[in-house]
Amino acid sequence: MKQLSYLIFLLGLIIIGWEYPILYPLKLLVVFFHESSHAIATLLTGGTVKELVINQDQGGYVISQGGNRFIILSAGYIGSLLWGVIIYMASVKSHYDKAIMAVLGISILIITLVLSRSIFSWLFGLLSGGAMLLMARYLAEKYNDFVLRLIGLTSIMYAPLDIYSDTISRSYLQSDAYLLAEYTGGTTLLWGSIWIIISVVVIFYCLKWVLNKPLIE
């Protein structure tokens, strides 16, 4: 019951603050996860990342060469969801929230320094990663736990909403699903629907697992 109450509390904070500037950095972080997932998929499938850009309008892009195009295009939305699931589940399962925060901060700094190619991307990545390292160094475990859960849950909930907005309600946009439809011969709606189904299934089992875990104090 305590775990459910904590989950509802975090969801309430996200919903209430969704349209306010306080969640702007978290939304940008989800965009960072999205674009980083494209870049990582490119590298893992043998391609080269030319440019990773995050902009202040909560958008971004990756310019790459080579690699498996199907995996690369699929990695954005699914990748940002998995970032959220891993961060959230790790914070729930572990007492080592300071270490998890430090690893997350270092990961963001490495991706930024190696792949980012715009001033805003650099500023956001360096400030975000640096802030996480400071939190890991100076804040207690419980505060790191709270921030990690908030980051993870925001990324988890943002993913299906973003998929729906970009691929179903506005299927004319040149989204990942639009590009994948061109590549495979399917439709934007088809790939958007598949990704939403995957997202809902992953979220269901993630939250089911979390609610069956005792709350870590």
Q: What is the pLDDT of residues 98-115, one digit of tens each?
A: 999 999 999 999 999 999
Instruction: Give the model's pLDDT for residue 213.
Output: 61
Instruction: Check residue 17 and give its pLDDT.
Output: 84
Could you state, in chain order, the average pLDDT of each consecutive group of 10 residues for the chain (217 residues)? 79 84 92 95 96 92 94 93 94 90 98 93 96 97 95 90 78 79 85 90 90 61
Q: What is the pLDDT of residues 170-199, one digit of tens each?
A: 766 778 888 888 888 878 888 888 999 999
Report DSSP letters for 132-192, one per residue: HHHHHHHS-HHHHHHHHHHHHHHHHHHHHHHHHIIIIITTTS--HHHHHHHHHS--HHHHH
